Structure 1
Amino acid sequence: MIKRRVLIAILALCASTVQASETCSPDAVDLRGDWGQAHFSVEVADDAQEQQKGLMFREKMSASAGMLFVYKRPHRARFWMKNTLIPLDMIFLDKTGRVTRIAENAKPLDETPIDGGDNVLMILEINGGMARGLGITVGSELRHPAFDSAIAAWPCPAE
């Protein structure tokens, strides 16, 4: 347990020391809030097949990495951890990129549904414990080019 706490602290430090980039990239997200900023490299799951597989069968994930699930329209999101081998934090986002809910340390291999609530447009999955370690909270903002810049809480800069 102590090793896990130390690891989470180190992971949080690694992610928090990377400042948000000046530009947006399809393979990265930036998060900000009263707690500061963080940058994660992401794999994007934007079709049914990628979303169904998600991070299943992965034995590890880099501290500064994650998976961003992008949907065509806001919906009620429910996830589970079937065949997922690592604990994850699931960060649920509305159409403006604001964090609406965080499911912390989802238990590997657990088939209990995790409810992200209504009006979810995207979900960011990162290593379990990272959200708390960084201080990410409901209301934090995420930036990615998949958000409509006309309504995004933190839009990508104009090119």
Structure 2
Amino acid sequence: MAHRNWLTAGAFCAAIAIIIAAGAYFYSQEPTSADSRTMILPVDPTPLVAVTKSGERSFSIEVADTPAERESGLMFREDMADDHGMLFVFESEREVTFWMKNTPMPLDLIFVGQDGKIRAIKQGEPQSEAIISPGEPVRFVLELKAGTAAKAGVEDGDLLRHPAIVTAPGLAMPPPDSGDAPNVDAN
């Protein structure tokens, strides 16, 4: 009887080892940020609007608002329309740093404060590990194809409008059903 229990236990342990090995194999096949797979998020139904000195400019955007989405960002993306971008939404205003490792496309990185105002516009070089930072706390970062900000007349101090920005905690919202725009100072 003891011999049969020992054999059963041995067979059970062998089965567990096979399951663990198979799980490790399949787990390793999941895409990671080190894979060359591009993350494509759904395009937000509401365009992001940049209020510039020469008028409003609209961009279709993907919103990266989870840690995994922000980590992957536009890595491995080889091309993007001039009127398209990715908005990174952070939980709070803080100092952020970006780099371009695994990103083959040059980018404009537009750093935006809690109030929706642009604090800095920096350029990202493809495949670079150089740190890109505005040097001050921000809440949002908009990435566009390189040169798009200049072509659209988007500059430091301009205001960005989008539901992901105006609904960020800390911004005053109009009373329900008032029909008024959010209380965001455009100066």
TM-score (norm. length: structure 1): 0.76
In 1, Cα distance between equivalents of 2:80 and 2:107: 10
For these two proteins, the number of residue pairs brought into alignment is 129
Contact 1:97 1:153 in 2 (8 A): no
Residue 103 of structure 2 aligns to which amino acid in structure 1?
A: T
* Equivalent position SS for 1:115: coil
The one of 53, 57, 65 equivalent to 1:34 is 53
Name the larger-Rg structure. 2
Counterpart position of 2:68: 49
Counterpart position of 2:81: 62
Residue 157 of structure 2 aligns to which amino acid in structure 1?
A: G
Matches within 5 A, 1:103-122: 103-104=122-123, 106-122=124-140
In 2, Cα distance between equivalents of 1:90 and 1:145: 20
Identity %: 40
Contact 1:74 1:118 in 2 (8 A): no
Counterpart position of 2:20: none
Residue 105 of structure 2 aligns to which amino acid in structure 1?
A: I
Give the strand-richer structure, 1 or 2. 1
**What's the offset of the Cα at 1:26?**
5.7
In 1, Cα distance between equivalents of 2:73 and 2:109: 12
Cα 1:117–1:27 change in 2 (3 A) is farther
Residue 185 of structure 2 aligns to which amino acid in structure 1?
A: A
In 1, Cα distance between equivalents of 2:46 and 2:83: 12
In 2, Cα distance between equivalents of 1:73 and 1:152: 17
Residue 117 of structure 1 aligns to which amino acid in structure 2?
A: G
Cα 1:75–1:42 change in 2 (3 A) is same
Runs of 5+ consecutive residues of structure 1 not aligned to the other structure: 1-24, 155-159
Matches within 5 A, 1:148-159: 148=167, 149-150=171-172, 152-153=184-185
Displaced runs of 4+ in structure 1, greater than 4 A?
none
Counterpart position of 1:5: none
Q: With a CA cutoff of 8 Å and minimum separation of 6, indicate the structure with the bigger relative contact order.
A: 1
In 1, Cα distance between equivalents of 2:139 and 2:185: 14
Q: Deviations over 1:30-83 (max 9, x none)?
A: 001213211011000001000000000011001111000001100001100000
Structure 1 residue 144 corresponds to structure 2 residue 162: yes
TM-score (norm. length: structure 2): 0.65
Q: CA RMSD in A?
A: 1.5
**What's the offset of the Cα at 1:27?**
4.6
In 2, Cα distance between equivalents of 1:111 and 1:99: 24
In 1, Cα distance between equivalents of 2:46 and 2:128: 28
Contact 1:31 1:141 in 2 (8 A): yes
